Amino acid sequence: MTPELMNQGAERLEKHKLKQETAVNSGGRAASFSRIHQPGELDLVHGRILYLEDVNVSFDGFKAINHLSLDIGVGELRCIIGPNGAGKTTMMDIITGKTRPDSGQVFFGSTINLLRHNEPEIAQMGIGRKFQKPTVFEQLSVFENLELALKTAKGVGASMRFALNGEQKDRLMEVLQTIHLQNDVLRQAGNLSHGQKQWLEIGMLLMQDPKLLLLDEPVAGMTDQETERTAELFLSLKGKHSLMVVEHDMAFIRQIADVVTVLCDGAVLAQGSFDDVQANERVIEVYLGR
Ligand SMILES: Nc1ncnc2c1ncn2[C@@H]1O[C@H](COP(=O)(O)OP(=O)(O)O)[C@@H](O)[C@H]1O
Ligand SMILES: [Mg+2]
């Protein structure tokens, strides 16, 4: 997608708004317009959920992100690989509002300019991020961790009066099954295995029903069996959510990959199927050292 398309999206939004006003003025028939987008609402009409164009970031003169352009389709499971220092984590920092780029464009759907929002706003809009280290509440049970994730999302804070409604309970049960922890509901999170803690944290993100999930090295430190289960988990999330997965574990990537993007020196070096990327000479050169 190009900036032109983005501009067209913005223009369309303006037109819709005009139409909407006209409709209201002419007898409240706004409901007959099926696709009116409110400002700030996610617009996926172009089939792309995330769009980065010519993004640049320097740290003390060092170009960590160098004319990076990349986009992710709705419901896609995109794998990102690349050597250490390629800029993978920095790219996630930019998407989530943690780092401001020096230049470039970052859009969520066709109309939401992420560079105009801060970290909490971006999380609230439906971009969930999983850092490398699990950050669950060790003293709380699996159930309480998931419950807390929902409270935080609703901005309820630590209020004791918060009780899950039926729909939220259903959601919690569904998430427990998705992350394979239905038999560990009452266990203290601190007693879970490393892999289970990672799944619980993914579950906490899922409680907030993110549109886009960013996962940074999710299987690092997992056993082979845990890695296998995580691959199944991600494949089950694809379609319902869009995912961007950064990982070094090639067996894992091979198992889940559709499109693989190779980052190097802050830009896209190659992109394609796992086999294409693996056979790419520039990619081989980067991984084997020049
Ligand atoms: N806050 C920062 N300040 C200075 N340099 C940084 C900062 N964040 C990242 N870098 C540098 O930017 C480059 C890319 O880092 P990073 O995005 O963590 O790479 P990756 O996740 O692909 O291993 C590295 O050289 C790193 O040292
Ligand atoms: Mg990293």
Number of neighbouring beta carbons within 10 Å of residue 278: 19
Flag whether 109 is in a domain.
no
216 Cα: distance to centroid of ligand 2 (angstroms): 7
Flag whether 114 is in a domain.
no
Mutate to test the pocket of ligand 1, among 90, 99, 132 (most ligand atoms within 8 A of CB): 90
Q: How confident is the model at residue 79 (pLDDT cuts 50, 70, 90)?
A: very high
Q: How confident is the model at residue 167 (pLDDT cuts 50, 70, 90)?
A: confident
Q: How confident is the model at residue 20 (pLDDT cuts 50, 70, 90)?
A: very low
229 three-class SS: helix
Task: Quote the CA–CA distance of 173 and 167 in Å, as a whole number.
Answer: 10
Tell me the C-alpha to C-alpha distance, in Å, between residue 152 and each of 28, 149, 157, 234. Answer: 37, 5, 6, 24
Place of tokens 């020049």: 290
The CATH number covering residue 209 comes to: 3.40.50.300
pLDDT for position 206: 95
Residue 60 sits at the vertex; the CA angle it makes with 59 and 64, to the nearest 5 degrees, is 30
pLDDT for position 162: 65
Q: Which is nearest to 246 in space by CA: 79, 16, 127?
A: 79
DSSP state of 114: G
| CA-based radius of gyration for the chain | 21
Mean pLDDT calculated for residue range 141-164? 75
pLDDT for 33 beyond 90: no
Do 83 and 269 contact (CB within 8 A), yes or no? no
pLDDT for position 165: 85
Q: Judging by DSSP bridges, how do beta strands 212-216 and 242-246 pair with one another?
A: parallel
Which ligand neighbours the alpha carbon of 91 most closely?
1
Task: Quote the CA–CA distance of 93 and 96 in Å, as a whole number.
Answer: 5
Q: Which residues line ligand 1 (CB under 6 A)?
A: 59, 64, 82, 84-90
Flag whether 129 is in a domain.
yes
pLDDT for 163 beyond 90: no
pLDDT for position 134: 78
85 Cα: distance to centroid of ligand 1 (angstroms): 6
Flag whether 208 is in a domain.
yes
Flag whether 167 is in a domain.
yes
Mutate to test the pocket of ligand 1, among 56, 59, 93, 245 (most ligand atoms within 8 A of CB): 59
pLDDT for position 240: 95
Mean pLDDT calculated for residue range 117-135? 91
Q: How confident is the model at residue 133 (pLDDT cuts 50, 70, 90)?
A: confident
Do 43 and 113 contact (CB within 8 A), yes or no? no
Flag whether 105 is in a domain.
no
pLDDT for position 154: 61
Computed over every residue of the chain, the mean pLDDT equals 87
Which ligand neighbours the alpha carbon of 267 most closely?
1
Q: Judging by DSSP bridges, how do beta strands 77-81 and 242-246 pair with one another?
A: parallel
Q: Is the model more confident about 290 or about 259?
A: 259
* pTM score, whole prediction: 0.84
Flag whether 150 is in a domain.
yes
Q: Which domain holds residue 150?
A: 74-98+119-288
Question: How many folded domains does the chain comprise?
Answer: 1
Flag whether 15 is in a domain.
no
